């Protein structure tokens, strides 16, 4: 699947913030362009005040990196940039360097559909400093959005308690790119289908949909509209019943349903898109059951999200299928995930890795230094803790203590021989070459389902979830503290 080429037919190297280009120029100018560096992409807080996040967007990242290059039109655009004095912003030799540059980074990442937690790397990029820097904006753009939407979809599907959720968000999504990425991420998060036909074509997602109010309004009567639709789609009749009078619409659907049954066909169900969904669904259920349509589905739509679905469940609404649009594809109650991309190590002149730290008055914003990875521990197929550790330091097989990166008083002892282990960062690229076999959409979706099942139900509560333990292995915690103290000492000495 070549997403960017299918959609754009051109390079996306300039899909970046201008300061990435200016830093790239400054790296080149100062002789640091080829210095090897490591960057980590991670987020600091779960979205939606939840207890988990669902990773998505890696296939877009793969496609972007495979096709990463500066084409002639990109170089021409940069060459035409002028300073305030009228001179070129970038030297020709730098632009020649960009035009010949070939992607050569190593990338490790968590697989799509993996449950992830704050401060743990979703992606680790190692390679020439200039290339690592130039990837930042695009990777954040891709992973921030798709991870956010996949997480929202997972929350909505948890609220639906196994009943199908249909993604209806195309017309309310943030542009063409937002709509396609949202449909893809929603499917990963558990949605059964999408209304977005292009997403169906590009990603192999099942598509679904029946008719709108305009179909009903184009006929003299609602009954005529239902009859005409049944004639066109006798095997897929879900009638939208709330154009004029919801309960009368149910009566008309039943009439057409009986006519279909006389021809050996069966009405699939009805859809309610307005009004008191709990009341109307329960009345509709009574009417359908009385007339022998006990298997007919009742689909509800109308600005649904996980909280409204939970409320309708509490009210014992007779809804079997949930159509969710705006509040899913726009992540209505949280506009961004807030993932960041930080330098964690750089190779010095002696060829050794030098860990890097960023300080802040907020402990939440102090990054995790060094060349690190994440290991998840399972007990009886249940995830019990994640450990962020330095790859070049041995792990004590007799037991480790993980330390919360924000609150060092929160600690947990793990006895590795009691648990099954999974290293979360998988090899994706080596020296610019893809080494990862991308799973199918259904395989990604299945992974998401199994990952969510591996979490204790307390971590999946929509409100006030229990905190899943994620911590730094002791060696990494000690390194981080040493670097913080060293950096603060240097800062005071230069005051």
pLDDT for the residue numbered 491? 59
CB 70 within 8 A of CB 98: yes
Among candidate residues 323, 336, 329, the one with its CA nearest the CA of residue 149: 329
pLDDT for the residue numbered 416? 75
User: pLDDT band at 362, cuts 50/70/90?
Assistant: confident
Mean pLDDT of the chain: 95
CB 322 within 8 A of CB 309: yes
Q: Which residue has the tokens 């333990």?
A: 469
Percent of the chain with pLDDT strictly greater than 90: 90
User: What is the tens place of the pLDDT at every residue in 261-297?
Assistant: 999 999 999 999 999 999 999 999 999 999 999 999 9
pLDDT for the residue numbered 8? 56
Lowest mean pLDDT among 85-94, 156-165, 231-240, 350-359: 350-359
3-state secondary structure the chain: CCHHHHHHCCCCCCCCCHHHHHHHHHHHHCCCCCCEEEEEEECCCCHHHCCCEECCCHHHHHHHHHCCCCCHHHHHHHHCCECCCCCECCCHHHHHHHHHCCCCCEEEECCCCCEECCCCCCEEEEEEHHHHHHHHHHHHHHHHHHHHHHHHHHHHHHHHCCCCEEECCHHHCCHHHHHHHHHHHHHHCCCCEECCHHHHHHHCCCECCCCCHHHHHCCCCHHHHHHHHHHHCCCCCEEECCCCCHHHHHHHHHHHHHHHHHCCCCCCEEEECCCCHHHHHHHHHHHHHHCCCCCCEEEECCCCCHHHHHHHHHCCCCCCEEEECHHHHCCCCCCCCCCEEEEEEEECCCCCEEECCCCCCCHHHCCCCCCEEEEEEEECCEEEEEEEEECCCCCCCCCEEEECCCCCCCEEEECHHHCEEEECCEEEEECCEECCCCCCHHHHHHHHHHHHHHCCHHHHCCCCCCCCCEEEEHHHHHHHHHHHHHHHHHHHHCC
pLDDT for the residue numbered 6? 53
**Beta bridge pairs of residue 108:** 124, 427
pLDDT for the residue numbered 49? 96
Lowest mean pLDDT among 138-142, 259-263, 355-359: 355-359
CB 247 within 8 A of CB 287: yes
pLDDT for the residue numbered 469? 96
pLDDT for the residue numbered 7? 55
Residue 419 has pLDDT above 70, yes or no: yes
* CA distances for 115 relative to 57, 274, 311, 320, 492, angstroms: 13, 34, 26, 27, 40
Mean pLDDT of the 393-420 span: 90
Residue 3 has pLDDT above 90, yes or no: no
pLDDT for the residue numbered 82? 96
pLDDT for the residue numbered 94? 98
User: pLDDT band at 490, cuts 50/70/90?
Assistant: low
Mean pLDDT of the 25-42 span: 98
pLDDT for the residue numbered 235? 96
Q: How many CB atoms lie within 10 A of CB 75?
A: 17
pLDDT for the residue numbered 415? 87
Mean pLDDT of the 89-108 span: 98
Mean pLDDT of the 173-190 span: 96
pLDDT for the residue numbered 336? 95
pLDDT for the residue numbered 492? 55
| Spatial separation of the C-alpha atoms in residues 144 and 198, rounded to whole Å | 22
Residue 364 has pLDDT above 90, yes or no: no
* CA distances for 97 relative to 71, 75, 126, 131, 136, angstroms: 12, 10, 20, 12, 19
pLDDT for the residue numbered 273? 97
Residue 9 has pLDDT above 70, yes or no: no
pLDDT for the residue numbered 394? 87
User: pLDDT band at 395, cuts 50/70/90?
Assistant: confident
Mean pLDDT of the 174-178 span: 94
| Spatial separation of the C-alpha atoms in residues 296 and 389, rounded to whole Å | 53
pLDDT for the residue numbered 354? 95
| Spatial separation of the C-alpha atoms in residues 101 and 95, rounded to whole Å | 10
Q: Is 99 exposed, middle or buried (0-12, 13-18, 19+ CB in 10 A)?
A: middle
- Stated pTM of the model: 0.95
pLDDT for the residue numbered 360? 78
pLDDT for the residue numbered 397? 82
Q: Is 313 exposed, middle or buried (0-12, 13-18, 19+ CB in 10 A)?
A: middle
Residue 106 has pLDDT above 80, yes or no: yes
Q: Which residue has the tokens 């803790």?
A: 385
pLDDT for the residue numbered 396? 84
Mean pLDDT of the 143-153 span: 98
CB 44 within 8 A of CB 340: yes
Mean pLDDT of the 314-333 span: 97
Residue 191 has pLDDT above 90, yes or no: yes
């Amino acid at each position: 699947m070549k997403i960017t080429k299918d959609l754009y037919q051109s390079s996306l190297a300039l899909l970046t913030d201008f300061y990435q280009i200016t830093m790239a120029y400054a790296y080149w100018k100062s002789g640091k362009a080829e210095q090897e560096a490591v960057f980590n992409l991670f987020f600091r807080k779960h979205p939606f005040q939840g207890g988990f996040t669902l990773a998505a967007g890696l296939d877009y990242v793969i496609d972007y990196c495979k096709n990463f290059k500066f084409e002639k039109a990109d170089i021409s655009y940069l060459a035409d940039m002028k300073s305030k004095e009228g001179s070129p912003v970038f030297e020709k030799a730098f632009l020649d360097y960009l035009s010949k540059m070939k992607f050569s980074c190593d990338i490790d990442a968590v697989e799509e559909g993996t449950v992830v937690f704050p401060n743990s790397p979703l992606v680790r990029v190692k390679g020439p400093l200039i290339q690592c820097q130039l990837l930042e904006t695009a990777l954040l753009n891709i992973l921030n959005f798709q991870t956010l939407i996949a997480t929202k979809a997972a929350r909505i599907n948890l609220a639906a308690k196994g009943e199908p959720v249909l993604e209806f968000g195309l017309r309310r999504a943030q542009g063409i790119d937002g709509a396609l990425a949202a449909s893809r991420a929603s499917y990963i998060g558990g949605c059964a289908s999408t209304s977005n036909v292009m997403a169906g074509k590009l990603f192999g997602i099942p598509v679904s949909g029946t008719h709108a109010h305009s179909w009903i309004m184009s006929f003299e009567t609602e009954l005529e509209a239902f009859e005409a639709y049944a004639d066109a789609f006798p095997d897929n009749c879900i009638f939208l019943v709330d154009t004029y009078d919801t309960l009368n619409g149910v009566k008309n659907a039943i009439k057409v349903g009986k006519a279909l049954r006389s021809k050996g066909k069966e009405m699939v169900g009805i859809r309610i898109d307005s009004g008191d969904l709990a009341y109307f669904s329960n009345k509709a259920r009574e009417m359908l059951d009385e007339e022998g349509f006990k298997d007919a589905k009742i689909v509800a739509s109308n600005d649904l999200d996980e909280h409204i679905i939970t409320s309708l469940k509490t009210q014992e609404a007779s809804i079997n299928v949930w159509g969710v649009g705006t509040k899913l594809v726009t992540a209505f109650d949280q506009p961004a995930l807030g993932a960041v991309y930080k330098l964690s190590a750089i190779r010095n002149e002696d060829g050794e890795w030098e860990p890097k730290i960023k300080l802040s008055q907020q402990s939440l914003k102090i990054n995790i230094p060094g060349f690190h990875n994440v290991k998840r521990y399972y007990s009886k197929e249940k995830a019990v803790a994640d450990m962020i550790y330095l790859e070049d330091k041995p792990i004590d097989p007799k037991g480790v203590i993980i330390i919360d990166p924000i609150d060092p008083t929160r600690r947990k002892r793990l006895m590795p021989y009691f648990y099954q282990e999974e290293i979360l960062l998988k090899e994706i690229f080596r020296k610019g070459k893809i080494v990862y076999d991308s799973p199918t959409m259904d395989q990604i979706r299945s992974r998401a389902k199994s990952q969510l099942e591996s979490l204790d139900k307390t971590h999946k509560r929509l409100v006030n979830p229990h905190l899943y333990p994620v911590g730094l292995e002791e060696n990494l915690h000690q390194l981080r503290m040493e670097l913080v103290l060293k950096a603060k000492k240097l800062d005071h000495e230069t005051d």
